[in-house]
A and B are shown apart, each in its own frame.
Chain A
C-alpha cells in the first residue's frame, strides 16, 4: 500500500533528518510509529502523505511511484488517505458537524445521505452534544476527537494519525485506540505516530521506531 526504499530526507543543506528508510505499510495492517521528540515522526508521516518529497530514495503509494503521480491524480490519492494532524487543522468558521462532514461534502455527496453517519460518528467520539459549536470553543481533547472523526468519516484505505491521543485523558485514549483497531478490522491500514508507551502496550502491533533519523522495525 505504501512502500519506502532507501528513502532519505534533508531540509535545505542541513544533515539528513531521515536516512535509508525501507519499509512497507501492508494492506489491512496496524503499526505504531514511535521515537523520541524530534526523531522525525511527523516528517515521515508527511512523506507517507505525499506532502513532502524525499531527497533520495523511492516512495510508492497504492502501487504507484510517487514521483510519477500527476497533480490531477493527487486528490484521488488523498481521498484514500485519512489524516489526523497534530494541530487538528479544523476550520474555525464551520461547526464541528460541518468540519467532520467536509470530506464528504468535497466529494459532492448530498447532506441527507451522510447526515446520520456524521451524527453517529460524532456521538461515538463523545461530541454528540457539541456538533453545533465551532472549534474555538472546543477543548483540546474535543478538537482532537473532531479531527479524528473527520479523518475516519469516509473510511479511508490508510489512516495516518499524528499523536492522536496527545490531548485526551487515558479512558478516552483507550476508546480512540479501540476505534482505530475497529477501523483496522474493517480493512483500513493504520499508522499511529505516538510516543505514548502505555497506549502502545494496550495493543500488540508492529512498531516502527525512529531514532536519530534511522528506522528500526519490530514486527
Chain B
C-alpha cells in the first residue's frame, strides 16, 4: 500500500496548520449555514402560517373579551356612582326649600361628594321628548330631580338617608338604582363569562392546532432524528436542537399573529376616536366605549404570543424525546 492509498486516519493537525491551509483550499463555503434541523421545509412554512393565524384569532378574541370586560365595568361604575332623589310637588310644598333640605340631608352622609339639582331648564329638556318644547314647569306638577354623586369606593347608608328624607322632606323618594345596578352587574358578568369561555375555547383550539401542526412538521424530520441517533447524539442534544428550531418558528408565527391583532386594535381605536361625532362612531362607542384596548389587553396578547411559541417548542421537544426514547430503548426495537 502506497502513502496515497493510506487513509488519513489518526492524522492530527495543529491549529496553525489548519488556519494556514484553509484559505488556499476553500474556494466555496464548507458549511451551508443550516442548523442540524432543516429550516426551509414546506411543513415548517405551513406550521408558521398556522401558528400566525391561530395566534391572530386568539388575540382578537382576547382583545374583544378585554374590551367587553372594561366596558361592562365602566357602565357598572358609572351608574353606581350616582343616586337620584325625586321630590314630587304638593299643593303646599315649597319646592325650593324642599330641594335645599334634601341636599343638606344627602350631603351630611359620608361618601356623598356633591348634590346637583336639575334646574327648570334641564328638567324641561329632559321631558321634551314626551311633552314637547316650550314647557312651563310652573303649570305642571312635575317632580324635581337631584343627582347625588358618590365618592369612589364609598357607599353611604342609603336606608338611613331614605328614612331621613321621608321624615323631613315629604313627597321625596330615593332611587339608588339598585335594580339597574344588579341587572347590569348580572349582564356584565354574563358577558365576561361568555367572552372568557369563548377565549378559553379559542386557546384550546389554538393549542390543539399548534400541537398537531408541530407534530405534523416533526414527522418530516423523522429521518433527521434517526441519523442523529445513529451517529451517537443523545436525546438531550437532539431535543435541544429541535426545541430551539421550533421555538424560533413558533416565535415567528406567534409574533406575526399577535402583532397583526395589535395593529388591528390600534387602527380600530384610531378610527373610532376619529369618528366620535358620526352616527357610526356613536353607535360603536355606546357599545364598546372608545374602542380602546387597555394596556392589560395588550399585555395579555404578548402573553398569548409567548405561550404559543413555548408550546410549539415544548411539543417538538416532547415528540422528539419520545421518538429518541423509542430508538434508545432496546427492548422496544
Contacts and interface: CB of A to CB of B under 8 A. Distances in A.
**Contact residues on A (Cβ < 8 Å of other chain), bracket:** 35 or more
Interface stretch (A18-26, A118-126, A196-204, A205-213): A118-126
6 contacts: A79-B232, A95-B30, A102-B36, A102-B231, A116-B22, A178-B5
B12 to A, nearest CB: 7
A186 B9 contact: yes
Given A93-B34, A95-B31, A132-B28, A121 B333 contact: no
Contact of A116 (B13, B40, B231): B13
Contacts of A66: 330
B154 interface: no
Given A50-B330, A123-B8, 4 more contacts: A66-B330, A95-B30, A102-B227, A102-B228
B200 interface: no
A169 interface: no
Interface in A61-93: 66-67, 69, 71-72, 74-76, 78-79, 83, 85, 89-93
Interface of A: 49-53, 66-67, 69, 71-72, 74-76, 78-79, 83, 85, 89-95, 97-98, 102-103, 105-107, 112, 115-117, 119-121, 123-124, 131-132, 134, 150, 152, 154-155, 175, 178-179, 182-183, 186
B34 A120 contact: no
B interface, by DSSP: helix, strand, loop or mixed? loop
B226 interface: yes
Contacts of B331: 53, 67
B32 interface: yes
A88 B98 CA distance: 101
Contact of A71 (B30, B237, B329): B329
B267 interface: no
